[in-house]
Amino acid sequence: MNEPKTLLLFGDSNTHCTMPMRELGERNRHPLNIRWTSLLARKLGDDWRVIDEGLPGRTTVHNDPIEGEHKNGASVLPAILETHQCISVIAIMLGTNDLKFRFGVNAFDIAQSIGKLIRIIRASGCGPKGESPKIIVIAPPPIKEVGALAKIFKEGERLSLDLGNEIKMVAECENVLFADLNNHVCVSNIDGVHYDSVAMEPIATLMFESVRKLSF
């Protein structure tokens, strides 16, 4: 019997499946059975092992001066890759937290930071037979400056409008598969960052279709 292929989902609170926040500090997650990560695992079936490595507040490459250095995706990625090797596919769904006002970066910078993550993965040798895992880059939809998170993401809504196109250009330059959530889901009007339960199925479907585009 063949070992299942491994899909690592490397993301932030929207991979963690955090529910929209009405107040700062809430830590509610969508129920396990409706999370898009769980739905995706069911769609892929027994041929795949899906690892949902989503950390709320995770950035691409930034140490968060308020939430902690452990939020830096680039610094923890090598250990995560080595922990879960051999990885067939890694899907990167990051960039939203980089829009926080405290980081002072634009959409171009965020996309370039995702490019750095791609190069870390390629150099890891954590794929099958010591090769690189296949990579999918997912662009998040634009955010909204509403609710409890509005001050944290001050000016982020404007910057987020360009993020999908910038990430797409990096994906094309790095020759990795690109998927755009903006064509499938919108952020919740409650906090402007996270997704309601109705978004879980479209995200799972997009990810399932993206994985199926890869050849093995």
Angle at 189 between CA 32 and CA 200, to 5 degrees: 25
- Does the pLDDT of residue 103 top 90, yes or no? yes
CB 37 within 8 A of CB 50: yes
pLDDT digits (tens, 9 = 90+) for 130-153: 999 999 999 999 999 999 999 999
Parallel, antiparallel or unpaired: strands 89-93 and 5-11 = parallel
Query: Average pLDDT of 112-127?
Result: 97
- Does the pLDDT of residue 63 top 90, yes or no? yes
- Does the pLDDT of residue 167 top 90, yes or no? yes
Query: Average pLDDT of 75-104?
Result: 98
Q: What is the pLDDT of residue 1?
A: 61
- Does the pLDDT of residue 175 top 80, yes or no? yes
Q: What is the pLDDT of residue 215?
A: 77
- Does the pLDDT of residue 162 top 90, yes or no? yes
- Does the pLDDT of residue 216 top 90, yes or no? no
Angle at which helices 73-84 and 107-124 cross, to 10°: 30
- Does the pLDDT of residue 199 top 70, yes or no? yes
Cβ-Cβ contacts under 8 Å for 212 (sequence gap 6 or more): none
Per-residue tokens: 16: 């963690």
pLDDT-based confidence at 124, cuts 50/70/90? very high
Q: What is the pLDDT of residue 73?
A: 98
Percent of the chain having pLDDT more than 90? 97
Query: Average pLDDT of 54-83?
Result: 98
Percent of the chain having pLDDT more than 70? 100
Is residue 86 classed exposed, middle or buried when 0-12, 13-18 and 19+ CB atoms within 10 A define those classes? middle
pLDDT mean across residues, the chain:
97
Q: What is the pLDDT of residue 2?
A: 80
Of residues 121 and 1, more confidently modeled? 121
